[in-house]
């Protein structure tokens, strides 16, 4: 991913972060995914008074892409304002594995522009994917 794409994704993820609904954890998360046509799709975490119904930023981001007719993504960036960059949770790793290739890059970044990259396969080795249903 070029630096320009990363900067655009980071900005978009920060915008989503600003809209996060996280009154219970006070832990806002934004995410931005890039399609193969260079379209940016965003999502934030949405919590609920029934805590277990919370949906993470990454899953809302990818679901929003699906709503917009996108089913394949080149990369996804996770944005938090924390010194320890935020890795995707286990449920999000599974959903990321559904829509991004094993060698696609997942990045975490923060307000300082710090960044860590993982491949999808690194985050979830031997993932159960649509190929397993063939
Ligand atoms: N959260 C995300 O949005 N993404 C992750 O990968 C980690 C956790 C959210 C869920 C919840 O709203 C808050 O962070 C604290 O767990």
Catalytic residues: 58
Pocket of ligand 1 contains residue 58 by CB under 6 Å? yes
To the question of pTM greater than 0.85 for the whole model, the response is yes
* pLDDT tens sequence across 77-98: 999 999 999 999 999 999 999 9
| pLDDT tens digits, one per residue of 12-43 | 999 999 999 999 999 999 999 999 999 999 99
Q: Which atom of ligand 1 is nearest to the CA of 60?
A: 3
- pLDDT category of residue 4 using cuts at 50, 70 and 90: confident
Report all structural domains of the chain as residue ranges with CATH numbers, in order of start. Answer: 3-133 (3.40.140.10)
Which atom of ligand 1 has the smallest separation from the CA of 55? 10
Structural tokens at position 70: 């996108």
Number of Cβ within a 10 Å radius of residue 127 = 16
Q: Whose CA is nearest to atom 2 of ligand 1?
A: 56
Q: Which band of pLDDT confidence, cut at 50, 70 and 90, is reported for residue 112? A: very high
Reply yes or no on whether the pLDDT at 2 is more than 80.
Answer: no
């Amino acid at each position: 991913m070029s630096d320009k794409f990363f900067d655009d994704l980071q900005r978009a993820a920060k915008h989503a972060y600003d809209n996060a609904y996280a009154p219970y954890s006070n832990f806002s998360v934004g995410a931005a995914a890039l399609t193969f046509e260079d379209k940016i799709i965003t999502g934030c975490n949405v919590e609920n008074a029934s805590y277990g119904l919370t949906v993470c930023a990454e899953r809302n981001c990818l679901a929003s892409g699906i709503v917009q007719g996108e089913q394949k993504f080149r990369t996804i960036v996770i944005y938090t304002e924390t010194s320890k960059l935020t890795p995707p949770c286990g449920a999000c790793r599974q959903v990321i594995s559904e829509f991004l290739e094993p060698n696609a890059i997942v990045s975490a970044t923060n307000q300082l522009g710090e960044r860590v990259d993982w491949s999808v396969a690194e985050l979830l080795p031997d993932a159960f994917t649509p190929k397993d249903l063939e």
